[in-house]
Amino acid sequence: MKYTVLIPAYKPDDKLIVLIDNLLAHNLDIVVVNDGSAPEYETVFDEVRNRNVPLLVHAVNRGKGAALKTGIRHIMKDPEVAGIVTADADGQHTCEDIIRVMDELAKDDTALVLGVRRFGGKNVPIRSKIGNWTTIAVFYIVSGQKVTDTQTGLRGLPRSLFPKLAELEGDRYEYEMNMLLNVRNWHSHFVEIPIKTVYIDENKGSSYNTWRDTWLILRQILKYCASSLISTLVDYALYMTLCWLFPTISLFNNSPISTVAVWIIVSRAVASILNYSINRYAVFKGSSTASFLKFAALVCFGILVSASCVSGLVHLGVNEVLAKIMIDIPLFVLNYYIQNRFIFNKKTAK
């Protein structure tokens, strides 16, 4: 089996050449992408060319994600390549660790292999600790999956994922987070192997901007919750308005419990239509007739549970809004899991 090392490079120095020489000493195939580096860095890329290493060039800087996709699209044209190992150009990834990721990738042609660093050492820059701890926490909350190092650039990509990775959203560092978020939808899984934690001059050579790029990553994660939050606001606004304007309905013998249940059904139905539209076209992007039927069944289940439980709490003397909040929080978590796992999953939504 053939594997290729893909190195996106932006304003590299001699550490890129040292890495390439080490990889060539092990007879490894390499592709380098110059992501719009300034002309003064041409001397480094001339050394790449002198070693007969394929060099792809972006005329302007487009971001790490765009550089990775350019490399993946180029490499996937070779039918003999069974996988790609991505590595950074700044000297953080050793040749030995790259080979270890490659060996792990050869064991499982469906796994996304992550070379994970340890962030507890004193030599780890604080900005790297902040960025990784933040994204680990939010990633776990949103996906329910534990990843030790969400920002690692040392990854093994199996050929089975090439088409998806080549079209994956994101042009900068958020691309790598999107990769993690989509693994389950792609029916793949993570395999982690520990690697050396190397930071040169406190990682000052990295083009990762802690606040800007962490925000890009978090923005991509948080969009998975935005649809539910928007529909929840609509749901609550309509529910509170109806409860205020029409506290009782004579049709139901002025029973406040029945009235609450009716307004829950009305407000939830309106919010659910909005929620489905956003999820289908903007969040999960899983589009099918079956997804609508599954979503409708989930909504009916949610309405039944919410209406009965909230009505029961109101009957016990709990405020209408507080009762709805108490029931809707666990339903929110359950709904997200079911939608992401079974309704808008790209493989199951047929």
State pLDDT tens for residues 257-293: 567 888 888 888 888 888 777 766 665 555 556 777 8
Question: Which residue in this structure is represented by tokens 């990834």?
Answer: 93
How many CB atoms lie under 10 A from the CB of residue 282? 11
pLDDT band with cut points at 50, 70 and 90 for residue 167: very high
pLDDT band with cut points at 50, 70 and 90 for residue 132: low
In angstroms, the CA 195 to CA 222 distance is 29
Question: Which residue in this structure is represented by tokens 């340890």?
Answer: 118
Asked if residue 344 has pLDDT above 60, the reply is yes
Give the closest residue to 66 by CA, choosing from 151, 216, 170, 210. Answer: 170
Asked if residue 255 has pLDDT above 70, the reply is no
Q: Which two tokens stand for residue 347?
A: 């493989």
Residue-level pLDDT at 224: 60
DSSP codes joined into one string, 277-333: HHIIIIIS----HHHHHHHHHHHHHHHHHHHHHHHHHHHTT--HHHHHHHHHHHHHH
User: Number of C-alpha atoms within 13 angstroms, CB side, residue 10?
Assistant: 18
The DSSP output letter for 39 is G
